[in-house]
Amino acid sequence: MELSEIFEEFLQKNLCKIETFHPFYQEALNYMLEAPGKRFRPMLLLSVVQAVNPLLIPSSLQPAMAIELLHTYSLIHDDLPVMDNADMRRGRATLHTKYDELSAVLVGDGLNTHAFYLLATSALSSDVKSRLCEILAYNGGIYGMVHGQILDCYFEKKPLDLEQLKQLHINKTAKLIAASLQMGAVIAGLDREMQEQLYDFGIDLGLLFQIQDDIIDATLTSQEAGKTTNNDQHKNSFVNLLGLANAINEADNLAQKLQKELEAFPENISTTLDTLLKHYFYRHKGNKHG
């Protein structure tokens, strides 16, 4: 069974199960998790573990799911009317349009905190679990994704320069991708230097993903992308700042840089990550579903 299939089976078997008399609370908690997704962040974690010590994969599935829950919470909140006001995500109606805005806020809150419950109860040593919680909280919280989100919302309709735009998206998007690689390295027992190299690689990878998302927003329909597009007209996006052609060129250059960085890793890590990432480096060239 492929690693992606192993994770997807684990995820679907371990969806939230709640004893409640609320008419749709459990359904809403699982609504976005049941939808098809790339599962890119958990696959980064699992790919690093697979490269170094495949025997640790069973113990890594719960931390991988924790990352997916945190990422899913961020999408649910990002789609809210107060933020992007999107009506499609992962090929289906967004959570607040399926149910209501209050439920979407609370489900997002719930998935956020449940991610750390999954880390705390995973079958790993206390030191490893503590470090994983630290990494995920730092990069997904006030020093990372939340910082990027508030910058994105506050400076909407207020143009930023390129360096400011990169800092916004390093926080909003790249740090959680980098954290996924770093968490895999921690589980696998790699030294701090290798952990940091994978983290830095993840920052560049996250920037590439954001540029690609901006290109997709400008060039694909919602049906093609599986989420609401043409929604960035007033946002600080790479397409709005650089123009479409220059944004594509920026993505091409970053993809080439990442391929060189990947080749410099130990062969086991380089080969395993290449198997995953070769589908993503040039998705801005027409791979509609990433």
pLDDT at 235: 79
Q: What is the pLDDT of residue 231?
A: 64
Q: What is the mean pLDDT of the chain?
A: 94
CATH architecture type of domain 3-285: Orthogonal Bundle (1.10)
Q: Which pLDDT belongs to residue 282?
A: 86
- Residue 75's pLDDT band (cuts 50, 70, 90): very high
Work out the percent of the chain whose per-residue pLDDT is above 90. Answer: 87
What confidence score (pLDDT) does residue 217 get? 87
pLDDT tier, 283 (very low <50, low <70, confident <90, very high otherwise): confident
Q: Measured in Å, how far apart are the chain's first and last C-alpha atoms?
A: 21
What are the tens digits of pLDDT across the range 162-220? 999 999 999 999 999 999 999 999 999 999 999 999 999 999 999 999 999 999 988 87
Tell me the pLDDT tens digit for each residue of 12-38.
999 999 999 999 999 999 999 999 999
Domain ranges of the chain: 3-285
Q: Provide the whole-model pTM.
A: 0.94
Quick: pLDDT tens for 213-263: 999 988 877 676 677 666 666 678 999 999 999 999 999 999 999 999 999
pLDDT at 290 over 50: no
